[in-house]
Amino acid sequence: MNINWFPGHMVKTRREIRESLKLIDAVIEIRDARIVRSSKNPEIDDICGNKPRIILLNKSDLSEDKVTNKWIKVLSSNNVGVLSVNCITGYGLNNIKSLLDNILQDKHEKLKNRGINKIVDRVMVVGIPNVGKSSFINKIARNKIARTGNKPGVTKSKQWIKTKIGMELMDTPGILWPKLESSETQLNLAFTGAIKDEIMDTEELAVHLIEVLSSNYPDKLIERYKLDSLSDNAIDIIDNIAKKRGAIIKGGNIDYNRVSNMILDEFRSGKIGTISLEFPK
């Protein structure tokens, strides 16, 4: 499966981010806790340079806690703080201000020594499409400023948003790299909805997802779909799921479109269970 989704506005976004770095104090990078490696834009380190950074592992309610905690340990450093969050419910977001104060401590002390006590940090929010940037901003700003949606590509213009906790946020459109690096990365982004379903073969995608889940989370598949056992063949598993759920068309044939979309939807919403698709090396 070869995926290359790079709308024209994303080229402009990369340029704008580089040009805007001089205006900001820190970067908040939002990733998907289920695919921490795949949801990092490989150019983000080059684009943002040595700017202090907070990495938010969003949708942590959909990932395995023990795996997410391992990622936090691996990614954290003196210049990078990491939090497990849910940008819709607000879980974990109360810790952002203290973490930001910590990584910007030197800057704050210099300002206070100059007699500046009311400090407002300007922060750029970045991330791939559909990772939760707008939901994060709306939660922090406590109102519906940034448009939200469960499809990638909703936010398409740069905007500054004031908050009541000493931060001004710059929202940016989601950015993906022009050529997705590996088939694993492509699939992980497609599984989680970071790439539009409209350009995908969802039936093929569901087969790949079942292959991954039957290998790493067989018990959760069996429990969710009340299966007696799992076949070694992903299509056979999908057939059994379709029969259990009544995804059958005339003649007793499997409705692969219906069952494939159902499997993808139930994975993305967490109905199959808490699942992490990537693990720290």
**DSSP state string for 79-114:** SEEEEE-BTTTTBTGGGHHHHHHHHTHHHHHHHHHT
Residue 256's nearest CA partner among 198, 202, 197 is 202
pLDDT of residue 213: 98
pLDDT of residue 155: 46
pLDDT of residue 156: 47
Domain that residue 65 falls in: 9-171
pTM (2 d.p.): 0.88
pLDDT of residue 176: 58
Whether 186 maps to a domain, the answer reads no
Same domain, 125 and 29: yes
Query: Is 60 annotated as ligand-binding?
Result: yes
Got the DSSP string for 210-268? HHHHHHH-HHHHHHHHT-S---SSHHHHHHHHHHHHT-EEGGGEE-HHHHHHHHHHHHH
What is the tally of structural domains in the chain? Answer: 2
Same domain, 146 and 210: no
Q: How far is CA 55 from the centre of its chain?
A: 11
Query: Is 132 annotated as ligand-binding?
Result: yes
Same domain, 157 and 41: yes
Domain limit, last residue, from 132, 156, 171: 171
Query: Is 153 annotated as ligand-binding?
Result: no
Whether 140 maps to a domain, the answer reads yes
Whether 176 maps to a domain, the answer reads no
Given a contact cutoff of 8 angstroms between Cβ atoms, the answer to whether 101 and 108 are in contact is: yes
Whether 194 maps to a domain, the answer reads no
Given a contact cutoff of 8 angstroms between Cβ atoms, the answer to whether 205 and 1 are in contact is: yes
Whether 177 maps to a domain, the answer reads no
Question: For residue 48, what is the domain's CATH number?
Answer: 3.40.50.300
Query: Is 61 annotated as ligand-binding?
Result: yes
Query: Is 58 annotated as ligand-binding?
Result: yes
- Across the strands, what pairs with 122? 168
DSSP-derived letter for residue 197 is: G
Given a contact cutoff of 8 angstroms between Cβ atoms, the answer to whether 165 and 142 are in contact is: no
Same domain, 142 and 223: no
Query: Is 193 annotated as ligand-binding?
Result: no
Per-residue pLDDT of the chain (281 residues; tens, 9 = 90+): 666 655 566 667 777 778 888 889 999 999 999 999 999 988 788 888 889 999 999 999 999 999 999 999 999 998 899 999 999 999 999 999 999 999 999 889 998 999 988 888 999 988 888 899 889 988 998 754 544 444 444 444 566 788 888 899 987 756 656 567 788 999 999 999 988 888 889 999 999 999 999 999 999 999 999 999 999 999 999 999 999 999 999 899 999 999 999 999 999 999 999 999 999 98
Query: Is 131 annotated as ligand-binding?
Result: yes
Q: How would you classify the pairing of strands 159-162 and 167-171?
A: antiparallel
pLDDT of residue 122: 92
